[in-house]
Each structure stands twice: as C-alpha cells, then as structure tokens.
Structure 1
Amino acid sequence: MRSTTYILPVIVLALAGLLSSIFIVDEREKALVLQFGRLVDIKDEPGLAFKIPLIQEVIRYDNRILSRDIPQLQVTPSDDRRLEVNAFARYRITDVEQFRQATGAGGDQAIEVAGRRLDSILRSETREVLGTVSSNDILSSDRAALMLRIRNGAIAEARSLGIEVIDVRLKRTDLPNANLAATFSRMQAEREREAADEIARGNEAAQRVRAQADRTRVEITSDANRQAEIIRGEADAQRNAIFAEAYGADQEFFEFYRSLNAYRGALTGNNTSMVMSPDSEFFNYLKNENGN
C-alpha cells in the first residue's frame, strides 16, 4: 500500500514530463527550440517534436505568406506633382534564426516588429523609385514595372530580417486634396498648350496643302490655256486654209459668200441703222446691174 502511494505520483510526474516534452509543429509554422534563451534546434517540418521540459522552450513563427499594408505616404515624382500612395506587400519568413535575432521576440510580437521595419524599408524604396519618374508614368500601365523595381530594391534589405519580399503592390495613387485644384489647373493649361500646338501644326500643314493645291491649279490652268491656244491656232490655220482654198476655187463666189455673212452680221434686229456712203463697196452685191 505504501509503495502504491509513492508509485502513483511518480507515474503522474513522468506522464506530465513526457507530455510537456512533446510538441506538435503545424505545417503552417516553423518552431525554434531555445534553451535558456539560446537557440538549440529549428523545427521546420510538420509533425511531433521533443524538447527538455522546464529547460527548453518553443517559439513558433508563421510559415505562410504574410501581408503588410504600408501606411499612406506622400511622394514627389520628377515633375513635382505630389501624390499620396497606398501600398501593400506580401512576404514570408525564410530564415527563422535570423528573424529571431533581428526582432528579438517571438510570435505576433516578432511579426509586428518585423512589419514596422519592413514598412520603413518599403517606404524608402517607394520614395526612391517613384521620385525618379513622372506622375504620368505612375498613373499609367508602367506602374507594374515600378512595383517590380520597388520589390527588387526591398529584397536585399529585407533579407537582413530573415524575410523574403514576394510582391509589392500600389493600391491607390491619388492627389492630395490641397493640391487638386492647382493640379487640375496646371493639367488644363498643359492640355490647352498642347491643343494650341496641334492647331498651329494643323494650320501650317493646311497652308502647305493649300499652297500646293494653288500651285497645281495654276500649273493645270496654264497648261490648259497653252493647249487651248495651240488648238485655237491650229483651228484658225485650218480655217484660213479652207478660206484660201475656197477663194482660189471661185473668187467671185467667195466674195459673195463673205458679203452675205457680213450682211447677216450687220443687219440684225428691227432697229438696225447704218450710216455709210451709198457707193461703199459694202453694198456691191445689193446693187443692180446698172449700179443702182
């Protein structure tokens, strides 16, 4: 009976010691085994693990991809148009030992410490990268390349914390409320200047087209007049040749024909008046044989 009294407490203590020496590593985490604050083992595989009760302790860290919202910051691009930027980053703890040394804490407290230091790194990289480009580049589709530059710049510095920056995204990029009116006025002035330049270039091009069209018109008109004069001269030559041939064939009839045409042209209308000498040659073919 006395032996049973001693055995039961021993068994209970043994079971308690056994249970306290066993811990489970979840697949979503990594664990550090510390002995009097000194690292003795790293458990990064899921399953059962062991430690020395009362002497060793277990510190757990999240092994999943973590997200961190970067507090809003103001940046000044190369065109001096100040912007308010909201961003977030995704990262993962890759070296738990270095992470422990950098943060000096465990669990959620270590995550918060690392997050604040990561904020400082990302804010610095964001200002440096966005300060080298114009605001139009930040607001355009080129922002994907800018986010990649921010991520690549933050990777090296974040490595000293034992973490890997996986991605950086700009959520919002806005103008400060105090600068909206001035910025819109400047944008309007720039657009009006660009419109005026386009109008001036258009007028210049239109003037060149009109000048070319006028020159072409003059050339075409001159060529047409030249051809018309040539055709008119050839026609006059043919007419004169026909008259000459007719005159040579019958001189008397030719003179008679020409006189009739002259009469037709002169005596038109009902009120034609002519003042001429009666013995004018114009009336030769209107006289009788006696000359009356």
Structure 2
Amino acid sequence: MRKAPVLLIGLAVIVFLLFNALFIVDEREKAMVLQFGQVKAVKEEPGLAVKVPFIQNVVYYDARIQGLETSALEVTPLDDRRLIVDAFARWRISDVEQFRRAVGVGGMTAAAQRLEAILNANVREALGSVRSETVLSADRVGLMNTIQDAATVEARALGIEIIDVRLKRADLPEQNLEATLQRMKSEREREAADERARGNEAAQRVRAQADRTAIEIVSEAERDANIINGEADAERNRILAEAFTADEEFFAFLRSMEAYRSSLKGDNTTLMVEPDSEFFDYLRSPNTGGNQSADE
C-alpha cells in the first residue's frame, strides 16, 4: 500500500522533468538553447527538441520576414533642395547566434532600432550623392539598390539579412513646396515661350517660301498668258490679212459693220457726221434711195 504513493510521486517527478526537458520548435520560429546566458544549441528545424531541465532555457525568435518602416527623414541632395524621405525594408534573421550577440536581450525591438539607424545613414549617403530630380523621378531603382547593398553589409554584423529596400515617399518640405512649384512653373513657361518662338520662326519660313512660290507661279502664268495672247494676236492678224487679201471689198464691209456697232452702241448715243461722209457708204443704197436720204 505504501508503494503506490511513492510510484505516483516518482511518476509525477518524471513527467515534470520531461515537461521541462522537452520543447517544441514551430516552423515560423528559430529556437536558441541557453545555459547560464551562454548559447548551447540552435534549433531551426520545426519539431520536438530536448534541453537540460532547470539548467537550460529556450529563447524563441521569429524566423519570418519582417517589415520595417523608417520615420520621415530629411535629406539634402547635391542641388541643396531638401527632401523628406520615407524608406521601407524587409528583413529576417539569418544567423541566430550572431543576432543574440549583437542585440542581446533586446530581441526584435532592439534589432529594428539598430536596423533603422543603418538604413537612415545609408539613405542620407546615397541621396546626398545625386540631384533631387533623380530622387523625385519614378525611375530610382538604382538608388534603392545602392542603399540595399550598403545596408546589407552593415546588417550582417547583426545576424540580419536585408531582402529588399524601397523609398516609399520623397517629397519637398511644405515651406519649400510653393517656391519649387513657382520655379517649375516659370521653367515651363520659359520652355513654352521658346517653343512658340521656334514655331513662329518656322511659320515665317513657311509663309516666305509659300509667297515666293506663289510669285513664281503667277509670274510663270503671266508669262505664258502673254505668250499665248501674242500668238493669238498674231494668228488673228494673219487670218485678217488672209481675209483682206482674199476679198478686199467684203473685208472693208465687215470692218465698217464693226465700226457701226461700236459707234452706235447704247440708247442715248449721238453721232454727228457730214451726210456725204464715207462712214455711211455702206448705209446708202442706190436702189433704196440711200444717197438721197443721206443728202436730205
């Protein structure tokens, strides 16, 4: 009867010892076994592990990728235009022992603070070596790669691997924003004025060329017209000469008819000539008494 309580006590002691000797490593964690503050083992694989109860203790660290947002940082690029910059980094623990030696009992919080200081220093150095236009442009991948490379080297001393660095925001301070906008506006207005001046110059060249071309075309047309008119006059004179040679009397009659039509044109035309004038030779007819009427 007395052996039963002893067995129960012994079983309880064994269970208690096993409970304190065994620990579980989650797949999202890394475990470090410490003995009097000294690192005795590192467990990175998930599963069940063993430690010496009461003498050794286990410290867990998050093995997942962490995010770090830096506070707003004021930097001065090469052109002395101050900028407000925010950076974002993704990191994780790569060497648990080195991480423990570097940050001590501060853990993840102390690591984030030291990593932010490293990032800020490298952001200042990288952005201070270029002009503000490069920082404000959308294509600043090169700057981010430079910051990441420099920060990665320093972060190794903390047992940290930096996976990525991004510049979230790069803006002008409020007090400089209005002046910068006015300067940008003035620059754009000057560029627009230059473009308009170049456009007016080009338009004047086009108009001058068009005017010169028009003058040349009109001159050529007038020359051709004069040539054609001259040829037409010559042809008319030739025809008239042939007609006069063929029938002189008919030609004289035709010219007299044209003279009558030109002289007696209009409602109020008055013509004063002598009755026996040769102008009315073809109006007088010996059969109709034309001479007698003209004399009268």
Show the counterpart of 1:223.
220
> Are the aligned partners of 2:68 and 2:88 in contact in 1 as well (CA < 8 Å)?
yes
Show the counterpart of 1:142.
139
The answer to whether residue 242 in structure 2 is matched with residue 245 in structure 1 is yes
Q: How many residues align?
A: 289
Q: Which of residues 165, 185, 189 is equivalent to 2:186? A: 189
Using the alignment, how far apart are the partners of 1:60 and 1:93 within structure 2?
A: 12
Show the counterpart of 1:48.
48
> Are the aligned partners of 2:136 and 2:171 in contact in 1 as well (CA < 8 Å)?
no
After superposition, the Cα gap between the structure-2 partners of 1:231 and 1:142, relative to the gap in structure 1 and judged at 3 Å, is: same
Using the alignment, how far apart are the partners of 1:94 and 1:165 within structure 2?
A: 9
- Structure 2 runs not aligned, ≥5 long: none
Equivalent residue letter for 2:152:
I
Q: RMSD in angstroms over aligned alpha carbons?
A: 3.2
Show the counterpart of 1:58.
58
Matches within 5 A, 1:161-200: 161-200=158-197
Larger Rg: 2
Pick which of 48-57 and 72-81 moved more: 72-81
The answer to whether residue 277 in structure 2 is matched with residue 269 in structure 1 is no
Measured against aligned partners, the alpha-carbon deviations of 1:160-199 in whole angstroms (never above 9, x if no partner) come to 3221222223333332111122122112112211211221
Show the counterpart of 1:121.
118
Shift of 1:95: 1.4
After superposition, the Cα gap between the structure-2 partners of 1:152 and 1:287, relative to the gap in structure 1 and judged at 3 Å, is: farther
- Structure 1 runs not aligned, ≥5 long: none
Using the alignment, how far apart are the partners of 2:17 and 2:174 within structure 1?
A: 63
Using the alignment, how far apart are the partners of 2:99 and 2:244 within structure 1?
A: 126
What TM-score, normalized to structure 1? 0.83
> Are the aligned partners of 1:81 and 1:183 in contact in 2 as well (CA < 8 Å)?
no
Pick which of 129-138 and 191-200 moved more: 129-138
Shift of 1:44: 0.3
Q: Secondary structure at the match of 1:42?
A: strand
The answer to whether residue 68 in structure 2 is matched with residue 68 in structure 1 is yes
The answer to whether residue 29 in structure 2 is matched with residue 29 in structure 1 is yes
> Are the aligned partners of 1:29 and 1:44 in contact in 2 as well (CA < 8 Å)?
yes
Q: Secondary structure at the match of 1:71?
A: coil
Show the counterpart of 2:87.
87
Pick which of 241-250 and 65-74 moved more: 241-250
What TM-score, normalized to structure 2? 0.82
Pick which of 87-96 and 125-134 moved more: 125-134
Equivalent residue letter for 1:21:
A
> Are the aligned partners of 1:66 and 1:90 in contact in 2 as well (CA < 8 Å)?
yes
Q: Which of residues 220, 224, 231 is equivalent to 1:234? A: 231
Equivalent residue letter for 2:252:
E
After superposition, the Cα gap between the structure-2 partners of 1:280 and 1:151, relative to the gap in structure 1 and judged at 3 Å, is: farther
Equivalent residue letter for 1:72:
A
Identity of aligned residues (%): 58
Measured against aligned partners, the alpha-carbon deviations of 1:211-243 in whole angstroms (never above 9, x if no partner) come to 222122122212222222222222222212211
Q: Secondary structure at the match of 1:48?
A: strand
Using the alignment, how far apart are the partners of 1:241 and 1:266 within structure 2?
A: 26
After superposition, the Cα gap between the structure-2 partners of 1:266 and 1:153, relative to the gap in structure 1 and judged at 3 Å, is: farther
